[in-house]
Structure 1
Amino acid sequence: MSSPRDVPLRAADHDFRVRVYPADEPLGATLVWLHGGAFMFGSLEMAEADQVGRRLSAVGITVVSVDYTLAPLDGARAFGGAPDDVPDDPEPDRPRARFPVASLQTVAAFDWAVEHARDFGGDPERVALGGASAGANLSAAATMRLRDRGTGLPHVLALVYPSPHDGILPPNDELAGLLAQVPPEFIFTPEIRSAINRNYLPDAHDPDGYAFAGGHDVTGFPPVLIVNAELDSLRASGEAFAAELAAASVDVHVERQRGALHGYLDEIGHPAAERTLALLADAVAPVDPRV
């Protein structure tokens, strides 16, 4: 495998970087990828970022992993409830910022990947965009920005355990029954989700869907892959977003990873992670390149 390399970028008055994983034997496709972490955690070193870059580049897809500016840690109190439970900032000297900084950086990273696709054996018309959890939300919202800008869309939008709506959507009976069997520490409650979202977008003002694409007009979106975790209170949002896409005549492929909890892509070798990596590869660089 070719060694990954970091490229410094700047957008929304903040420095950030992308880490490029060049394809060993390029198939012409590129994936701009964003890790999760409630908008305030995560790094390029976490498996959810690095595993995707290494595994997909090994099968011919160049991956551009985005080290976007994280939101402040204020919202971390939702996970513990007391100031002493808030984790120390691993990079205290690095600026943090709320919406719209990471959203604008996602667009800038996509633009950079399109501009430089040929440098890595790629086709500028075959640059996909995607991410996991908060990274999926950033990808979906950036696609809304790109659509409205009218200067080119991702070839494919790939969302892994996304929650594109601002808040927890009520589960149906099937999901509610499954969640009742999940230990509480693995569940996103409405209170936790609200704290995360208000930390990222304090005033909840999002008329264009540039923070949370769910519930907005998604007409004109590119083909979308959505992979949900079965035992995830955020799954209702992913499924509702798939329905919104289909209602807008957008091609959407939805998969559910049975028995999986939110965040499984951050575990190397997890069966659901292995299946999801295969789904990502097939969506971004299908065997028939005309698809």
Structure 2
Amino acid sequence: MLDLRKLAVFVAVIEEESFSRAAQKCHLSQPTVSGHIKSLEDYFQVPLFDRHTREVRPTRAGQLLYRYAKRLLKLSEELEREMRLFAQGGQGVLFLGGSTIPGQYILPGLLGSFKREYPAIKITLKVADTQEIARQVALGELDLGVVGAKIPERELDFEPLWEDKIVLIASPRLFKEPCTLSLRDLVEIPLLVREEGSGTWLVVQEKLREEGLSPEECHIVAELGSTEAVKQGVKAGLGAAFVSEIAVEEDLERGSVLKLSLPFEIERYFYLITPRHHILSPVAQIFVDFCRRSD
């Protein structure tokens, strides 16, 4: 069986370009280092170093082994670290991303419950639009994400968690009372929208196209960078807007905005994003399991 300790010595010899310096680095005698290299050569049945020069120069087989040895040793370190986390009862740091609606209106309450169950886990929550959160999870900058739209991304898996409804709201300044609008009415009213990359706006555009209406036909008067900015614009009478019902529950109850009906409903899921080709850390897996229980 392949011995990781011997691989570590082999890597040290290549990186130090010296058997003696590798021996010092690994706290071994030089004969022991030479013995480990000979053992690896016997195991693979190929020479790993060029013996016809005074320089420590790996053969092509040695170069190949070096690349794989580095990866194996890194995986070994990750494994030890993650197993220690398990043994410590779920301590660690979770780097979580949320698009605007889940990040502002769902995850804070969920994280409160999560922290009560797992107080030793530290959480860092980043809020951005759906596309940015997906990008950072794909790059490994975030462990997980929760977003409001499913987008094409080969490096990620999207698991539906919770349902949501998107509603059209307006100020009492524009409409004295709730009413039903036709598609033609929708084209004529001033509309506030979120920026490109917003999960809410992506879902709305898709639904409008399904109903035979191009989003470009809408009378868009402003593109705003957050749900809160959209809500404030609506209250100021700038126009109507599509928003998550979760984000305007209190505003609807107070009467500061009105809900307008349409010939169709816009429903969606909030999705849990996980990296497709990477094993989740213990802390990330704990949070995934918690979300599934909270579904």
> TM-score, normalization: structure 1?
0.28
Higher RCO (CA 8 Å, separation ≥ 6 residues): 2
> TM-score, normalization: structure 2?
0.28
